Structure 1
Amino acid sequence: MGFFENNRLVELITNYLKTQFEIIKLDIQEKLEEILVRIFKLFLVATGFGITLFFLLLGGSEWLNQVLESRFIGYFIMAGIIGVASIVLFLSLKPRENESE
């Protein structure tokens, strides 16, 4: 009888471990789904913000063209402003070296 009880015990432990593994897999899948939904929402928000910014810059360029009585200088001014802002943003993203050395 002891042999059969050991087989039953091994079977119970095996089934328990399989169940725990499945629970862990489902938890990981749920977390990944949450992350993918957040990334998709962030992408949609960024796209909407980008389109809005594009039209604001285009309108600002047209306004500058009217003020300066030119057909193209407003576009160059806006491009310069965005270029400078991009360079400043890029330089702020670089990791700084320790100056204490």
Structure 2
Amino acid sequence: MEGIKDTIFKFLRLEKLVDNLSGYLETRLELFKIEVREDVARVMAQALTVTAIILLSILFLLFFSVGLAHFLNDFLNKPYAGYWIVAGIYGVPCIVLLIFRKEISLKFEHYMTKLMKRKEK
């Protein structure tokens, strides 16, 4: 039975076609692996960069806030008023975001959906 099958494959030259097809699939798989590695490396590099920028921005904001609070303390001649003013500067937007968080979330979700649809085209 095997002999007949081999004879038919050789007769129809399917053996070479099967070899070429399997080689093609192996090559495509390797290409896919390389592309995935490149994409992962790109995403990791971007994540690291964004993390560093966020960390440095937070540190800048922290030291700027403390400096502004000290300046306001000296300007107002009160030992605590500057800290309360700076806390209020951060507290008011926080309260506004808490009150309107659902509306803001829906608008952001709608914007992101529209942006993703535009990228698909």
- TM-score class, shorter: 0.7 to 0.9
Identify which of 82, 102, 105 aligns with 1:94.
105
Q: CA RMSD in A?
A: 1.9
Aligned with residue 72 of structure 2, among 57, 60, 64: 64
Query: What is the DSSP-based 3-state SS (H/G/I as helix, E as strand, rest coil) of the residue aligned with 1:38?
Result: helix
Question: What runs of 5+ residues in structure 1 fail to find an aligned partner?
Answer: 97-101
Q: Residues 51-72 of structure 1, C-alpha deviation per residue, up to 9 Å, x if partnerless?
A: 1111111000001111122222
Question: d(CA) in 1 for partners of 2:45 and 2:97?
Answer: 27
Is 1:32 aligned with 2:43? no
Q: Which residue of 2 aligns with 1:99?
A: none
TM-score scaled to structure 2, two decimals?
A: 0.68
Q: How does 1:48-63 map to 2 (within 5 A)?
A: 48-63=56-71
Aligned residues: 96
TM-score by length of 1: 0.80
Letter in 2 for 1:72: Y
Structure number with the bigger relative contact order (C-alpha 8 A, sep ≥ 6) is 1
Unaligned runs of 5+ in 2: 1-6, 108-121
Q: Bigger radius of gyration, 1 or 2? A: 2
CA distance in 2, matches of 1:88, 1:39: 29
In 2, Cα distance between equivalents of 1:69 and 1:59: 15
Runs (4+) off by over 4 Å: none
Cα offset for 1:29? 1.3
The offset of 1:31, in angstroms, is 1.0
